Amino acid sequence: MLTREQRRLKIKARVRGKVHGTPDCPRLSVFRSNKQIYAQVIDDTTGRTLASASSLKIEEKLPKKEIAAKVGDLIAKNAKEAGIEKVAFDRNGFLYHGRIKELADAARKGGLKF
């Protein structure tokens, strides 16, 4: 029987086999913990993080879904400042549901294409 973390890592390996970040279309990687949510735009050819955002910088007390949406807005803004418009979405083994979906929708509204 797989634990929840082992299951996520197995899905993550499967997704990462298909999703690669290139200089013209970097990878938008999302990590969700119980309290925080993080997003990074990564160029896998050089292994560099081009833009990042996290809920650590948000000081307001809001529901987790609203905080995820704010992080989506932040990552879209930071990516635009770095000259990035198109990304490949890497959900990192998490289900595309709840906070992950909120972050993705907010990033799309912010102008990222994926």
Per-residue pLDDT at 53: 97
Per-residue pLDDT at 100: 98
Rounded-to-integer distance, Cα 63 and Cα 41, Å: 24
Q: For residues 34 and 69, is the Cβ–Cβ distance under 8 A?
A: no
Cβ neighbours of residue 70 under 8 Å, at least 6 residues apart?
55, 58, 62, 106
For residue 45, the domain's CATH number is: 3.30.420.100
Determine how many CB atoms are found less than 10 A away from the CB of residue 112. Answer: 22
Rounded-to-integer distance, Cα 81 and Cα 100, Å: 23
Per-residue pLDDT at 99: 98
Domain count, the chain: 1
Least confident residue range of 13-17, 29-33, 67-71: 13-17
Per-residue pLDDT at 43: 95
Top pLDDT among 57 and 40 is at 40
Range of the domain at 66: 17-109
* Residue 9 forms part of a structural domain: no
Give mean pLDDT, residues 1-28.
93
* Residue 1 forms part of a structural domain: no
Give mean pLDDT, residues 23-34.
96
* Residue 25 forms part of a structural domain: yes
pLDDT digits (tens, 9 = 90+) for 49-107: 999 999 998 999 999 999 999 999 999 999 999 999 999 999 999 999 999 999 999 99
